[in-house]
Amino acid sequence: MHFSLTEEQAAIQETALAFAKERLVPHALEWDEKSHFPVDVIRETAGLGMAAIYVPDAIGGSGLTRLDGALIMEALAYGCPAISAYISIHNMVAWMVGKYGTPEQIADWMPKLASMEWLASYCLTEPGAGSDAAALKTTARKDGDSYVLDGTKQFISGAGATDFYFIFARTGGEGADGISAFCVMLGTPGLSFGSLEKKMGWNAQPTRQVIMENCRVPASALVGGVAGKGFRFAMSGLDGGRVNIGACSLGPAAFAIDKARDYMFERKAFGKVLADFQVLQFKIADMATNLEAARLMIYRAADAMDRADPQASMYSAMGKRYATDLGFEIVNEALQLHGGYGYLKDYGMEKLVRDLRVHQILEGTNEIMRVVISRKVLGGNRG
């Protein structure tokens, strides 16, 4: 067992981090302040192979691993976690199309997803179905050679600004087996959006309801061409989403540590710089240690997915829970180290605290992560 990156992985990480520092860091505070979704900058990542990261190259993707993806998300999140998290969502949709789409769907959709000509949104959560996703109420009724969708999706990242909506709807009876997945394009009659949600963080990406009222799509929009498989699609995507949102907590934590370290050498109190106070030395030591521990958990989970480890779901849940909790704790401690200045917008610490708070909620709350883990442990199936 070794813990060093390969030359290729180091190059991938370096490319993503350089992009984050050049194209995201200088603008992140302004995008947050103005609630601006920088579509032009996001699309630049497609040219770096970051729009279909773990889609096989034979069908138009980059053919990289889940660990490669985690490295990319961590590095991009150093610049802005809201942007990195959206790119993760786009990649989840691209992977699902590549994994479950028919050959015709892959040929039609993948080039535009991989180039980010189409930006994608993932539409599972509903006003009354969050953690209990199998209880979703959106329906898709077969009508000749079409399906008619009716229902509302909640908390959808990119909604209204994106082009391709991967929507889960009920084609059958109650429960998971009655759920299917559909592609619905922006501009489809009957597709509309709620008002912009006013959020605590993640202001650099829009969040709206996605509303379908007598929204008619061709039968060819049924992902995979077979009804009743949608819930399996959704759950298979969540392991990767959990690894990625954990990775999106690592980058901001590293940024916060860098900023806190610089501040500790600039700021003086009682005649010496903050870095000379042992109590603050211990605090920064704990922050760095916690970041490294969380990083190892995420890399472990990503590697388990790449190896198709039977326990990959458990490791993903562990990594997501651990990294998002510690990531939030680290940026909050960095704010504290800045004292009153940390509370000011200009220093960027309060933005990170606001952005990372939601990471403990999405892709399955950290309470749900504990359910996933405990079922594995208590069921005796850890392996």
For the chain, the helix, strand and coil percentages under 3-state DSSP, each to the nearest 5: 60, 15, 25
Q: DSSP labels for 97-161?
A: HHHHS-HHHHHHHHHHHHTTSS-EEEE--BTTBSS-GGG---EEEEETTEEEEEEEEEEEETTTT
| Rounded-to-integer distance, Cα 328 and Cα 61, Å | 32
| Rounded-to-integer distance, Cα 260 and Cα 331, Å | 9
193 strand-pairing partners? 210
| Rounded-to-integer distance, Cα 153 and Cα 193, Å | 9
| Rounded-to-integer distance, Cα 205 and Cα 38, Å | 8
| Rounded-to-integer distance, Cα 234 and Cα 231, Å | 5
Beta strands in 49-108 (DSSP E): none
Single-letter amino acid code for the residue at 60? G
Q: Please confirm, yes or no, whether 363 is among the known catalytic residues.
A: yes
| Rounded-to-integer distance, Cα 358 and Cα 208, Å | 16
Single-letter amino acid code for the residue at 325? D
| Rounded-to-integer distance, Cα 153 and Cα 138, Å | 8
Is residue 61 classed as helix, strand or coil in its secondary structure?
Answer: coil
| Rounded-to-integer distance, Cα 216 and Cα 148, Å | 4
| Rounded-to-integer distance, Cα 17 and Cα 178, Å | 42
Spell out the residues 6+ positions from residue 165 whose beta carbon is closer than 8 angstroms to its own: 120, 121, 123, 156, 159, 183, 184, 185, 186, 191, 210
Exposure on the CB side of residue 272, measured as CA atoms within 13 A:
6
What burial class does residue 36 get, using C-beta atoms within 10 Å of its C-beta: 0-12 exposed, 13-18 middle, 19+ buried?
middle
Q: Choosing from 329, 333, 350, 363, which is the catalytic residue? A: 363
Q: Which residues are catalytic?
A: 363
